């Protein structure tokens, strides 16, 4: 139910007058949602109902029967005959967070954000419930597919770009889930126990970067507790840090059902409790009667909600958006996300002129997972390209493509001897065997953590059988987070990760296999050899009530470095069909510069990564090294590109928990440059003195 006013966006609204005229009851109602995705309707006033929808990778919207019959929807459905006829609006399914994270490309994130913003705008929706920027603390977390990275800098940079894109279109982004929501076990109440420095440097950092860089108009607080206090009642996190320290001037929206008591959450500065909660009104009334909350607090909150309304009300003048153009953006993002982990014996690309017959094995070639399950699932995309169809299209008639899918492999499990023979026969006569391996929804879903990081045994077996008879075995991993390749890695000549790459993933994968697309994605998370190699495993999932972040800063590559554990594929790793060489590292004043040369015949893209190590004689404990800068750069065949990095304070900061602030320790820092966390061929030392603060004697200058 919308308000009855035919409001034109240009009309000025006197919000202060509305606040003066609203009754206390109306105000209490306005502080809580009225349905699952909309706010309370103020019928008497010229402000309409606000709408908040998932999700981070595309609009999830159930249409009313009137909307379904609308002219706009009819036009879309006739233009895209392959979309479902059901209740869901036809919207683009963009690559999920794991794939977007692997692009390491802010431009891509901004483009995706912008396209999503356009789709929300065209449906008159005020906020996108995303991006999801929690840190991938543990490989088993079921929502890792939604998150960008194990590293705060990557998460923060990409999240900020996405937010800028969305908000350019007059729609609010809503970064989530603030904060320390890093597992699905006990997700509604688990207490994440963490020390101050770890919280600031690892878990709050992406949110801080996004707030400061992109100014999101809303933020979602999480379900869990942090050091004993629910995120929705955490005044220190919401009021002191988010608003006062970082300067956030948007609204805080609760995760769906995260508010336990509306009055306590109001006191902690949660502006909107979502969705509708019957008890919320009574809780506010009781707190008001007991003088726990007052009119001033209520009005201040309403004022912020109106400010949000003002910022987003151009959505009432929806413009049509171009789903065809958005498909191209989705395909492009999927291309950029493809991550090549292994490529021996020239296995990839498989050029058309080199082959006559290709064997394609595995259901995900024909029915790929383009997203994960839960609130982020986009279920009615206009297209859904599959690797199998696209391979057939690219190779054309001259190359025979045989496909062994679900029924073959499943019989295989039961009649192993017979099917093994058949697979071996078919693989032996093919010029290349492409094995498409995925993990199912139980491994990529909100609300469920995984319990292993292996592929299904039948897929591993298919890889081994193919190895015995074929000289070209290529594995394509259609996964939402790290898997172990240890048991079958030696059987594959090439391994590609296509992630959960949205509706254009099939095209991106096929283009990469044929050599039309040169892969440039990098792992935004470490791929361990074995789950037992992960430090936080000992401190996960906790006892059901609390989970102690005992590993402190040693998350992801920081742990693998500190404890000298060799991962299967390290953070930041990804190969290319080009050959890049880094050189000429120089410091000039506050600028660092280096070159990337492409020594091959193929144009390509490389991700320059800059890590720092703290001074050796530091008084503090620090990770061995930390990523502080990255940039994805295009380098044409036989050309060289220079990268320039401004060395600002942020490059050298750490959080001092005794002084409760970010500081720069003086001393000699090592700066590493390269293309993965373990391939850093360039190195220099930077003597830092600008962090010295008078009156603080324990941060002594090295000079």
Q: Tell me the closest approach of the beta carbon of residue 552 to ligand BGC, in angstroms.
A: 26
702 HSE (CA, 13 A, CB side): 18
- In angstroms, the CA 438 to CA 443 distance is 10
Choice from 255, 570, 626, 699 touching ligand BGC (CB under 6 A): 255
Smallest CA-to-CA distance from 101 within 168, 174, 156 is with 156
Residue 255 a catalytic site member:
yes
The residues near 203 (Cβ < 8 Å, ≥ 6 apart) are: 134, 135, 152, 179, 180, 182, 194
Antiparallel, parallel or unpaired: β 172-173 and 127-128: parallel
Give the CA diameter of the chain: 81
- Answer yes or no whether residue 373 interacts with ligand BGC by CB under 6 A: no
- Answer yes or no whether residue 158 interacts with ligand BGC by CB under 6 A: no
Phi and psi for 375 in degrees, rounded to 5? -65, -20
- In angstroms, the CA 318 to CA 117 distance is 11
- In angstroms, the CA 564 to CA 43 distance is 63
Choice from 176, 311, 384, 461 touching ligand BGC (CB under 6 A): 176
- In angstroms, the CA 117 to CA 122 distance is 9
Choice from 27, 51, 54, 155 touching ligand BGC (CB under 6 A): 54
Which CB atom, from 37 or from 656, has the smaller least distance to ligand BGC? 37
Which CB atom, from 273 or from 404, has the smaller least distance to ligand BGC? 273
- Answer yes or no whether residue 375 interacts with ligand BGC by CB under 6 A: yes
Phi and psi for 594 in degrees, rounded to 5? -155, 165
Smallest CA-to-CA distance from 41 within 22, 60, 54, 66 is with 22
Which whole-number Å values give the CA distances from 34 to 21, 49, 252, 275, 310, in the listed order? 21, 9, 17, 7, 20
Which CB atom, from 255 or from 533, has the smaller least distance to ligand BGC? 255
Q: Tell me the closest approach of the beta carbon of residue 375 to ligand BGC, in angstroms.
A: 4
Whether the CA torsion 607, 330, 517, 368 is positive or negative: it is: positive
Q: Tell me the closest approach of the beta carbon of residue 67 to ligand BGC, in angstroms.
A: 19
Q: How many residues lie near ligand BGC (CB under 6 A)? A: 6
The residues near 583 (Cβ < 8 Å, ≥ 6 apart) are: 594, 595, 597, 682
Q: Tell me the closest approach of the beta carbon of residue 176 to ligand BGC, in angstroms.
A: 5
Whether residue 552 contacts residue 508, with contact meaning beta carbons closer than 8 Å, is answered with no
Which CB atom, from 222 or from 241, has the smaller least distance to ligand BGC? 222
Q: Tell me the closest approach of the beta carbon of residue 135 to ligand BGC, in angstroms.
A: 15
Q: Tell me the closest approach of the beta carbon of residue 53 to ligand BGC, in angstroms.
A: 8
Write the DSSP symbol of residue 242: I
The three-class DSSP label of residue 566 is coil
Antiparallel, parallel or unpaired: β 494-497 and 473-478: parallel
Choice from 112, 129, 433, 482 touching ligand BGC (CB under 6 A): 129
- Answer yes or no whether residue 256 interacts with ligand BGC by CB under 6 A: yes
Smallest CA-to-CA distance from 632 within 19, 126, 154 is with 154
- Answer yes or no whether residue 27 interacts with ligand BGC by CB under 6 A: no
Which CB atom, from 218 or from 526, has the smaller least distance to ligand BGC? 218
Q: Tell me the closest approach of the beta carbon of residue 307 to ligand BGC, in angstroms.
A: 22
Q: Tell me the closest approach of the beta carbon of residue 117 to ligand BGC, in angstroms.
A: 16
Which whole-number Å values give the CA distances from 228 to 132, 175, 231, 260, 275, in the listed order? 23, 23, 9, 14, 24
Q: Tell me the closest approach of the beta carbon of residue 185 to ligand BGC, in angstroms.
A: 14
Which CB atom, from 301 or from 375, has the smaller least distance to ligand BGC? 375
Which CB atom, from 256 or from 614, has the smaller least distance to ligand BGC? 256
Element containing residue 584 per DSSP (H, E): strand 580-588
Q: Which of 255, 271, 373, 533 is catalytic?
A: 255
- Cis peptide upstream of residue 131 (ω within 30 degrees of 0): yes
Residues that bind ligand BGC in the complex, under the rule CB under 6 A: 54, 129, 176, 255-256, 375
- Could you give the residue numbers annotated as active site? 255
């Amino acid at each position: 139910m919308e308000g009855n006013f035919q409001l034109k966006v240009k009309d000025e609204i006197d919000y202060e007058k509305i606040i003066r005229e609203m009754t206390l009851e109306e105000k209490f109602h306005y502080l809580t949602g009225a349905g699952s995705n909309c706010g309370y309707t103020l019928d008497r006033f010229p402000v309409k109902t606000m709408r908040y929808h998932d999700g981070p990778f595309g609009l999830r919207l159930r249409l009313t029967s009137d909307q379904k019959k609308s002219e706009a929807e009819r036009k879309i459905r006739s233009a895209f005959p392959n979309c479902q006829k059901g209740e869901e609006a036809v919207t683009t399914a963009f690559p999920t967070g794991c794939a977007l994270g692997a692009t390491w490309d802010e431009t891509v994130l901004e483009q995706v954000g912008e396209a999503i913003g356009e789709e929300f705008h065209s449906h008159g929706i005020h906020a996108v419930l995303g991006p999801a920027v929690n840190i991938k603390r543990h490989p088993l977390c079921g929502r890792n597919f939604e998150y960008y990275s194990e590293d705060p800098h990557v998460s923060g940079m990409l999240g900020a770009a996405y937010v800028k894109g969305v908000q350019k279109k007059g729609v609010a982004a809503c970064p989530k889930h603030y904060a320390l929501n890093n597992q699905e076990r006990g997700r509604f109440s688990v207490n994440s126990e963490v020390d101050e420095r770890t919280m600031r440097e690892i878990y709050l950092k992406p949110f801080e970067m996004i707030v400061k860089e992109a100014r999101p108009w809303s933020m979602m607080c999480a379900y869990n507790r942090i050091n004993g206090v629910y995120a929705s009642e955490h005044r220190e996190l919401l009021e002191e840090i988010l608003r006062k320290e970082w300067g956030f001037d948007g609204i805080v929206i609760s995760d769906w059902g995260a508010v336990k008591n509306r009055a306590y959450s109001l006191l902690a500065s949660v502006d909107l409790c979502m969705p509708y909660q019957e008890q919320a009104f009574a809780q506010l009334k009781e707190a008001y009667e007991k003088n726990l909350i007052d009119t001033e607090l209520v009005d201040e909150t309403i004022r912020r909600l109106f400010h949000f309304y003002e910022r987003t009300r151009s959505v009432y003048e929806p413009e049509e958006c171009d789903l065809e153009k958005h498909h191209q953006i989705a395909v492009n993002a999927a291309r950029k996300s493809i991550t090549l982990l292994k490529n021996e014996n020239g296995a990839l690309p498989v050029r058309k002129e080199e082959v006559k017959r290709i064997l394609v094995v595995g259901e995900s070639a024909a029915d790929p997972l383009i997203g994960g399950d839960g609130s982020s699932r986009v279920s009615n995309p206009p297209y859904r390209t599959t690797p199998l169809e696209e391979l057939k299209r690219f190779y054309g008639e001259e190359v025979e493509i045989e496909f062994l899918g679900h029924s073959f492999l499943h019989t295989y499990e039961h009649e192993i001897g017979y099917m093994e023979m058949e697979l071996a026969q078919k693989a032996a006569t093919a010029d290349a065997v492409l094995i498409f391996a995925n993990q199912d929804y139980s491994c990529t879903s909100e609300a469920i953590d995984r319990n292993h990081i292996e592929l299904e045994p039948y897929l591993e077996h298919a890889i081994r059988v193919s190895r015995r008879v074929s000289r070209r075995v290529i594995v394509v991993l259609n996964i939402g987070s790290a898997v172990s390749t240890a048991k079958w890695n030696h059987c594959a000549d090439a391994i590609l990760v296509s992630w959960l790459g949205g509706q254009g993933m099939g095209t991106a994968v096929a283009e990469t296999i044929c050599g039309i697309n040169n892969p440039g994605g990098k792992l935004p998370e470490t791929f361990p050899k074995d789950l037992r190699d992960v430090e936080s495993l000992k401190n996960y999932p906790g006892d059901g009530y609390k989970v102690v972040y005992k590993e402190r800063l040693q998350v992801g590559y920081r742990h693998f470095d500190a404890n000298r554990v060799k991962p299967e594929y390290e953070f930041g790793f990804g190969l290319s069909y080009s050959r890049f060489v880094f050189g000429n590292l120089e410091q000039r004043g506050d600028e660092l510069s280096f070159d990337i040369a492409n020594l091959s015949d193929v144009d390509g893209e490389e991700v320059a990564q800059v890590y720092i190590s703290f001074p050796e004689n530091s008084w503090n404990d620090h990770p061995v090294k930390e990523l502080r800068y990255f940039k994805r750069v295009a380098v044409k065949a036989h050309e060289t590109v220079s990268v320039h990095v401004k060395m600002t304070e942020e490059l050298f900061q750490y959080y001092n928990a005794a002084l409760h602030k970010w500081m720069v320790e003086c001393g000699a820092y090592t700066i590493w440059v390269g293309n993965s966390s373990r391939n850093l061929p360039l190195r220099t030392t930077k003597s830092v003195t600008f962090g010295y603060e008078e009156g603080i004697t324990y941060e002594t200058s090295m000079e």
